[in-house]
Amino acid sequence: MNSAYKKECWVTLIAFAFMTLLTHIYPMYFMFPGLTQFTIFGFPAHYLLTMVIGWLVLIPVYWIYIGISEKIDDEIRQWDEGESAAKPARGGAE
């Protein structure tokens, strides 16, 4: 059981790190200053590229993260149901 919670924590930390790297891509513009020199559809290229990366890359990443997280939650839920069925009911008027 503990392993499911650990797995969930690791998946969340990895997803957070990946999202942070994708949404904070501004160092790319320091490494390749030519990206700030031209425009796309009248916008500076680095603005448009940031928006495109944000929407087109992060949405599938979130989709994958949610799928993995749901599987782990189902595993935890099944374990909790198994534990509650194995324990006798306590309390109440006997």
Is residue 91 assigned to a domain? no
Considering the domain boundaries, does residue 92 fall inside one? Answer: no
Render pLDDT for 18-68 as a digit per residue (tens, 0 to 9).
888 777 666 677 777 787 788 888 888 777 777 777 778 888 888 999 999
The residue segments making up the domain with residue 77 are 2-81
Q: Does residue 72 fall inside a structural domain?
A: yes
Is residue 45 assigned to a domain? yes
What residues pair up with 43 in beta bridges, in sequence order?
40
Three-state DSSP string of the chain: CHHHHHHHHHHHHHHHHHHHHHHCCCHHHHHCHHHHCCEECCEEHHHHHHHHHHHHHHHHHHHHHHHHHHHHHHHHHHHHHHHHHHCCCCCCCC
Instruction: Report yes or no on 86 lying in a domain.
Output: no
Q: Rounded distance, CA 55 to CA 59, Å?
A: 6
63, 41, 46, 17 alpha-carbon torsion, rounded to 10°: 0
Q: How many domains does the chain contain in total?
A: 1
pLDDT at 47: 78
Position 73 in a domain: yes
Residue 91 has pLDDT above 80, yes or no: no
**Is residue 18 included in any domain, yes or no?**
yes
